[in-house]
Chain A
Amino acid sequence: MNFEFSEDQNLLREQARGFLADNCPTTVVRKVLNAETGHDADLWRKVVDMGWTATAIPEEFGGLGLGYLELCVIAEELGRAVAPIPFSSSVYLATEALLLAGSQAQKEKWLPKLAAGEVIGTFAMAEGAGRTTAKSIKTRVSGGRITGTKVPVPDAAVAGIAVVLAGHNGGDGGTLCLVELGQGTSVTPVRTVDPSRGHAELRLDGAACEILGREGEGFTLTQTILDRAAVLFAWEQVGGSEAALEQARAYALGRYAFGRPIASYQAIKHKLANMYVKNTLARSNCYYGAWALNANAPELRVAAATARVSATQAYYFASKENIQTHGGMGYTWEFDCQFYYRRAKLLSVAIGSEALWQDRLITAIEQNTAA
């Protein structure tokens, strides 16, 4: 047993942090937020050049063939930088869906393009309010044509392909489809609480598609895709949460009230201590998740939900209390506190809410204890 990242992985973290400090200061996030462009194309190109999109893709498909621990390291740093790029959609979701369910031909066709950033992928699951269940999906596929409306779909405006969860009358009630966006598809941007990450409504009007995996297996496959993505999302969340704590700490040390730094008041000290505690627990759970993801261990389902729930809670807490620590300044457009607060909520609903993952965790434990 060994509960630490390797030296190489720590080196990768340092490099990633340095790279993002240079290329993704919060001014970059602010630019996207002000212009509502949905992502920063320049940063995306640089991230692709760093090879990050290729991290966990096997070499035979044009990737670097590194493990998921490396991808977790990168995810944490992207989260810390609140990076405005379609990394999670393309890498944690679309790439993972292809790796999990794609045929050899589909992998050969798309993975090298995803690795090289020639194509951005996304994952379309939700159809408006409420949890996506096998029963709730209205999108249908037949004869290689898919019809339906998915909203919100992250990064749909820049994606070349989408993995779409369609309904199915038999099997597990779902079928995963691979859709090339263009003919038969239309994308309408939607505003979200975090305009630094673009979202859209994706309309599918009989668009051509290929089945990913087998018909009637899509709902089950989606659960595995979500488990795997949850670990990576959790690392992003922990990265953001830690950045929020650092920002709160720096401000509290410099801001004086009643002749003392506000950091010397216990209400503020204990608030920050509380952030640290939540972040630490979430991080430790993320370690467990990272290991389970990388080893494809049977513990993945429990580990992913554990990491996800605690990271969601930690980031929400740190991002809201960071604003509180800044007082009126924290509430302004001018200050950076908003980035964490927006991103915390966006990430927390991105692949299912806190309550959904709490429920998944208990279900997984029930299944383990019944077995």
Chain B
Amino acid sequence: MDFSDSPKEAAFRAEAKAWLASNVPSAAELDGLDPLTAAKLWQKRKYDAGWACITWPKEFGGRGASAIEQVIWNQEESKFQGLPGGVFSIGQGMAAPTLMTWANDEAKARFIPKLASGEEIWCQLFSEPAGGSDLAALRTRAVKDGDEWVINGQKIWTSGAHYSDWAILVVRTDPSVPKHKGLTYFYINMKSPGVEVKPIKQISGEAHFNEVYFTDVRVPDSQRLGAVGQGWQVSLTTLMNERASIGAGGSAVGFDSVFKLAQKVEIDDRPAIENASVRAKLADWYCQESGLRYTAYRTLTALSRGAIPGPENSIGKLVGAPKTQDMASFAMDLLEQAGAIRDESLSEEMALYQNTYLSIPGLRIAGGTDEIMANIIAERVLGLPQDVRVDKGIPFSEVPTGGAK
């Protein structure tokens, strides 16, 4: 066990640091660019220099770096605040590992490098009005027609569908068998005729996710991943990687920001940080953050020895999202009445805490809710029995439903 850099790792860190120092886009360079263009600019620059998706093999645009080198890179890159990004996480974190596992060589060569370079953005067409937590209850239908499949139905909550080029998609190909057995997995071009994207406005007022409607959308059979009816297994590859990547993503609201805030604001004319209850809360959050960080590092050590991401990764999301929510709420309390102000020109750190307070509920739901994460840990890590399921073993077409209306 050694938490410090080996000489080789130190050299890698120095190289990463040096490259970042001279290549991170300046504020002036990004000024006036929309977030998507800015994100693409930074991603392409990393890609051209071999710093994108560094653990991927060279032929896919990476540099075959080790998991530990990925940790080092993340540590160094995250030292620069406010770098554009975010839009690539679904493609790089979920679509790419699924393609790497299930696609043929031709498809891998065609799609994966463009995921690394950020030239093509992917979204995830999984959830439906009738199937969120219960993803396998989805109803969007695909029917075979010669060498093609014809798709009809609706997806919902699709993050980034409005700017995505491609998508991973699970659909029902056979309603006459039990629900997990009748699914098939495809990737599709978002510009296909018959695909219609409608934005959904969130609590925060923004619209990052969408409804996506399919009307007689034709997808070639060559875009199928896995066998017909094997869609659930392919989805699990995506979901395992989803939890790993969501868990790893940090929020700007964390120990460092709230600690600084507590040093700055006062309680009864003394810095808030001197207050015992403030200290106790901050200490707990520090312990959670640190525990998550070293749990992730330990997982990486295991991955670098050939393990695949397992259900243990659900911890990151299950702990991280509620922690961020509580910290944003607590930071607003520290501001007392002014905690309510969301006006960016008047509020601490351009309303970081208020904006986070409004956006964070989504993170406790996206990618599997807290309750589903707890179930996954209970069932797949601790080996406890599955919930009693009334839909088990019966044809999907006979399963009772009641949608979100």
Contacts and interface: CB of A to CB of B under 8 A. Distances in A.
Given A1-B3, A264-B388, A355-B276, A269 B294 contact: no
A274 B318 CA distance: 10
Interface residues of B, number: 50
Given A3-B1, A3-B3, A5-B1, A362 B298 contact: no
Contacts of A253: 384-385
A3 B374 contact: no
B276 A365 contact: no
Nearest to A284: B294
A89 interface: no
Contact of B1 (A6, A249, A273, A362): A6
18 contacts: A1-B2, A5-B1, A263-B384, A266-B374, A270-B371, A270-B375, A276-B377, A281-B295, A284-B295, A285-B290, A288-B290, A290-B1, A294-B1, A310-B287, A310-B290, A313-B284, A357-B283, A362-B283
Interface of B is mostly: helix
Contacts of B102: none
A260 interface: yes
B401 interface: no
A287 interface: yes
A355 B280 contact: yes
A69 B283 contact: no
Contacts of B346: none
Interface string A287-308: 1101110110101000001100
B312 A280 contact: yes
Contacts of A282: 291
A252 interface: yes
A261 B379 CA distance: 13
A280 B291 contact: yes
Contacts of A366: 273
Contacts of A294: 1
B298 A4 contact: yes
Interface residues of A, number: 51
Interface string A334-362: 00000000000000000000010111011
Nearest to B297: A3
B290 A306 contact: yes
B381 interface: yes
B276 to A, nearest CB: 7
Given A3-B294, A274-B374, A359 B283 contact: yes
A81 interface: no
A69 B377 CA distance: 28
A358 B284 contact: yes
Contacts of A290: 1
B4 A295 contact: yes
A362 B279 contact: yes
Contact of B4 (A1, A270, A355, A359): A1
A277 interface: yes
B6 interface: yes
A249 B284 CA distance: 26
B73 to A, nearest CB: 13
B177 interface: no
Contacts of B297: 1, 3, 284
List the 4 closest A-B pairs by CB distance, nearest first: A281-B291, A358-B283, A269-B378, A284-B294
A294 B379 CA distance: 36
Given A2-B1, A249-B384, A269 B9 contact: no
A309 interface: yes
A261 B385 contact: yes
B1 A69 contact: yes
Contact of A273 (B5, B293, B374, B385): B374
B236 interface: no
A272 interface: yes
Interface in A1-50: 1-6
B111 interface: no
A258 to B, nearest CB: 11
Contacts of B4: 1, 295, 297
Nearest to B256: A369
B390 to A, nearest CB: 14
Interface centre among A290, A294, A299, A365 (most CB of B within 10 A): A365
Interface centre among B3, B71, B315 (most CB of A within 10 A): B3
Contacts of B279: 358-359, 362
Contact of A264 (B295, B315, B384): B384
Interface in B80-138: none
Given A1-B2, A355-B280, A249 B377 contact: no
Given A281-B292, A365-B259, 18 more contacts: A1-B3, A2-B68, A249-B383, A264-B388, A269-B374, A269-B375, A269-B379, A281-B291, A281-B315, A291-B3, A295-B2, A295-B4, A309-B284, A359-B279, A361-B283, A361-B287, A362-B282, A366-B273
B209 interface: no
Interface string B214-234: 000000000000000000000
B28 interface: no
B176 interface: no
B300 A276 contact: no
Contacts of B384: 249, 252-253, 263-264, 268-269, 272
A272 B315 contact: no
Contacts of A310: 287-288, 290-291
Given A280-B315, A362-B283, A366-B273, A272 B1 contact: no
A299 B388 CA distance: 48
Given A2-B1, A3-B3, A355-B280, A280 B286 contact: no
Nearest to B295: A284
